[in-house]
Structure 1
Amino acid sequence: MKTRAAVLNEIGVAGPYARSQPLRIEELELDAPQEGEVLVEIKAAGLCHSDLSVIDGNRPRPVPMALGHEAAGVVKELGPGVRDLEVGDHVVTVFVPSCGHCAPCAEGRPALCEPGAKANNEGTMISGGRRLSRADGTPVNHHLGVSGFADRAVVSRNSVVRVDPELPFAHAALFGCAVLTGVGAAVNSAGIRPGQSVAVIGLGGVGLNSVLGALVAGAGSVIAVDIDAGKLDLARRLGAAHTINSSEDGAADRLRELTNGGVDCAIEMAGSEKALEFAYRGTRRGGTTVTGGLAHPEKHVSIQQVSLVAEERTLRGSYVGSCVPIRDVARYVTLFRQNRLPVDQLLSGTLKLDEINTGFDRLASGEAVRQVIVFD
């Protein structure tokens, strides 16, 4: 069968992307789903910094690659062995397929699935195969097991979670990455407790979801930190008690002043080593610093080592919000329906697939928080 997809052929092409066109819309061959796989008709797909980091070279991946990992759609065909889904089910995609058998999966940490990580790095399905190719037979790599910037995708059964069919697709797509990663970092990774003070550094789509996650977890006060005035204003509207522009002199001192020496928990979502250092400096003695931002692999942070011991600090990473998707997607959708997790307020607009390069210009400039491509 055919699918129309956004394909990245070269990493590191300079912007503006509307002119350089790093993503080309191509008609690809798409194989039928194999054992343990499903065919999904994509209805909506979000533009995420994880996609942008492949385009600009911060997260090198093999090319050519059909990008996109945060998507929602309808199951159209079941591969052999798939018995717990039905044709017509609405699903959201999850960007780490989990095998269910490796050590992390056995510990209830599917985001760290070892075969899933290997497949994502190599641009394959978790089975090791590829289902995308050009007409001449040239294989095209998968992005995080999804390749959701396309009207159809074949994915592992373990890359999708069934959702309520009444949930609009443009909202549903966000639950596969932005919501899981951001809310999960606050609820699961940080384990925020009622009344605690929290700072969120980096207010993209994921960081703003961390603000919402901290609030829904019962944080006593949330301080939002960024360099963009518009995003700081949005964070206030979402419920942040204070905002700090980190580009201004004395920003770190202001964070400590607001919290009598530092927050109980700081969550870094900027994907910058400087932002993580800022987050660590702003965390109190005995507090926790969580990082979910994906920096370039060659970047390193500098922290005072003795503070980890003498101040009993915790510094931990958070991938996919330390979530168990089949459990947490349903929970977060319920909170959304209760108006306690207003993720729809993070939508900056919708696009057509042909406008994808312009959309990534907006994302790179900070003009947009979360844009969603909608398919007719």
Structure 2
Amino acid sequence: MSKNTTQIRAAVAREKGGPFSIETLTLDAPRRDEVLVRVVATGLCHTDMVARDQSYPVPHPIVLGHEGAGIVESVGADVLKVAPGDSVVLTFLTCGRCKPCRLGRMAHCEKTFPLCFGGARLDGSTATLDGQGEKVHDHFFGQSSFATYALANERNVVKVSSDVPLERLGPLGCGIQTGAGAVMNALNVRPGTSFASFGAGAVGYSAIMAARAVGATTIVAIDIVPSRLEMAKELGATHAINSKQTNPVEAIRDITGGGVDYSLETSGNPSVLHQAIEALGSLGTCGIVGAEPLGTEVSFDVNTLMIQGKGIRGILEGESVPDIFIPQLIELNAQGRFPFEKLMKFYSLDQINQAAQDSEKGVTIKPVIRLLAA
């Protein structure tokens, strides 16, 4: 092994829908704008399974993982933001140059797809080889953190306090900031208003906790799993609807006297999105964060949308500025107002396929893969 490479253990997706294989790989040293991170733990997200199953055209073989947290091992010559020894959360990568990035709306970066799903840097290069010297795709969301070490960019590392347990922080980089940011940043849910989360998973729960934190007074959770609805009430939902048993649109109209001010579709199910739009009251807004297959279309009543002044918002990564928003979520958690740790169950890297299975079955809300002791 060259002094310019690091030997890592990683979970590799090699075939569509297939299991992750645990392999020993070599990872190049960071370039001038890159950061090598010793990964302590990383969340496993629905988007990782979407990429594994190639619902998005992500190249294989690839190291996935995009909710990493760890310790900076080394940095490139041009990196000023962090230094070796710093605790960091890894988040989505952006170009920093396009119009959305320059407007502070980097979640909608024009290079999002190639940077996060291209399996390589923008110039097409990769940094990872397998035991036979063959290329393994990487840079998933600019990190590929299903590994003991990850190569990130200065733009997608967020420095955090070393006093906070790192193994809990990785999911803030995507799933948790997506749900919370949808409420706090994109929809801008106001005190005294009504909010409905269609789907009670990690993103939906994060949205519910955020809605409570900002002062929404009617918070409705919709799901088909009774245990998840019970937990939603523990986390802040004032009402819970089992959509297998009850028409959620009618129930929401009864609860609110006409419809909610804000709804969020987190499930990635087109029929559920239709319900989330229908459940809005006058001047209400529906946010969309559920990852659906490319080309998915949904119908809605145009006249109802116009007459009642309803809005529909596509939302990525909670429209957050991660360097600002992630520390805010950590502080809310420290104050007991955003208990995201209640969503997590921990697995070792060797248990990643069990973690994925548990997530898909709904047994585990937010699997977190431990890589190293902090």
TM-score by length of 2: 0.95
* CA shift for structure 1 position 128: 3.9
> Paired residue for 2:351?
355
> Paired residue for 1:184?
181
Equivalent residue letter for 1:192: V
- In structure 2, how many angstroms separate the alpha carbons of the residues matched to 1:250 and 1:293? 20
- In structure 1, how many angstroms separate the alpha carbons of the residues matched to 2:266 and 2:364? 16
Query: Mind listing any 5+ residue stretches in structure 2 that lack a counterpart?
Result: 1-5
* CA shift for structure 1 position 269: 0.7
> Paired residue for 2:31?
34
Equivalent residue letter for 1:338: Q
1:172-251, aligned counterparts within 5 Å? 172-251=169-248
CA offset digits 1:79-137 (Å, max 9, x no partner): 12002211100000102x12221111111111122234322232113554211122333
Equivalent residue letter for 2:47: S
> Paired residue for 1:10?
15
* CA shift for structure 1 position 253: 1.0
1:58-77, aligned counterparts within 5 Å? 58-77=55-74
RMSD: 1.3
> Paired residue for 1:304?
301
* CA shift for structure 1 position 4: 0.6
% identical aligned pairs: 35
- In structure 2, how many angstroms separate the alpha carbons of the residues matched to 1:259 and 1:286? 14
> Paired residue for 2:113?
117
Equivalent residue letter for 1:82: V
- In structure 2, how many angstroms separate the alpha carbons of the residues matched to 1:208 and 1:284? 22
Contact 2:94 2:115 in 1 (8 A): no
- In structure 2, how many angstroms separate the alpha carbons of the residues matched to 1:334 and 1:305? 42
Query: Mind listing any 5+ residue stretches in structure 1 that lack a counterpart?
Result: 14-21
- In structure 2, how many angstroms separate the alpha carbons of the residues matched to 1:101 and 1:297? 26
Equivalent residue letter for 1:301: V
Contact 1:116 1:126 in 2 (8 A): no
More displaced stretch, 116-125 vs 305-314 = 116-125
2:264 counterpart of 1:259:
no
- In structure 2, how many angstroms separate the alpha carbons of the residues matched to 1:132 and 1:31? 7
The DSSP-based 3-state class of the residue aligned with 2:151 is strand
CA offset digits 1:310-348 (Å, max 9, x no partner): 11111011100010111111111111111111111111x
TM-score by length of 1: 0.94
* CA shift for structure 1 position 249: 3.9
Equivalent residue letter for 1:80: A
> Paired residue for 1:18?
none
* CA shift for structure 1 position 250: 2.6
Contact 1:63 1:140 in 2 (8 A): yes
- In structure 2, how many angstroms separate the alpha carbons of the residues matched to 1:237 and 1:58? 33
- In structure 2, how many angstroms separate the alpha carbons of the residues matched to 1:258 and 1:361? 36
Number of residue pairs the alignment of both structures matches:
366
CA offset digits 1:169-194 (Å, max 9, x no partner): 22111211122111000011111011
Contact 2:81 2:154 in 1 (8 A): no
- In structure 1, how many angstroms separate the alpha carbons of the residues matched to 2:362 and 2:191? 32
The DSSP-based 3-state class of the residue aligned with 1:6 is strand
Equivalent residue letter for 2:213: V
* CA shift for structure 1 position 7: 0.4
Q: 2:42 aligned to 40, 45, 57, which one?
A: 45
Q: 2:90 aligned to 85, 93, 96, which one?
A: 93
Structure 1 residues 169 and 127 mapped into 2: Cα distance closer, same or farther (>3 Å)?
farther
The DSSP-based 3-state class of the residue aligned with 1:59 is coil
- In structure 2, how many angstroms separate the alpha carbons of the residues matched to 1:108 and 1:211? 25
* CA shift for structure 1 position 218: 1.0
Structure 1 residues 246 and 60 mapped into 2: Cα distance closer, same or farther (>3 Å)?
farther
2:336 counterpart of 1:331:
no
> Paired residue for 1:140?
136
Contact 1:125 1:155 in 2 (8 A): no
The DSSP-based 3-state class of the residue aligned with 1:114 is coil
Q: 2:21 aligned to 19, 24, 32, which one?
A: 24
> Paired residue for 1:84?
81
- In structure 2, how many angstroms separate the alpha carbons of the residues matched to 1:46 and 1:246? 28
Contact 1:126 1:145 in 2 (8 A): no
- In structure 1, how many angstroms separate the alpha carbons of the residues matched to 2:248 and 2:156? 40
The DSSP-based 3-state class of the residue aligned with 2:291 is coil
> Paired residue for 2:3?
none
Contact 1:126 1:156 in 2 (8 A): no
> Paired residue for 1:158?
155
Structure 1 residues 127 and 169 mapped into 2: Cα distance closer, same or farther (>3 Å)?
farther
Contact 2:10 2:24 in 1 (8 A): yes
- In structure 1, how many angstroms separate the alpha carbons of the residues matched to 2:60 and 2:15? 7
- In structure 2, how many angstroms separate the alpha carbons of the residues matched to 1:129 and 1:156? 14
- In structure 2, how many angstroms separate the alpha carbons of the residues matched to 1:271 and 1:321? 16
* CA shift for structure 1 position 224: 0.5
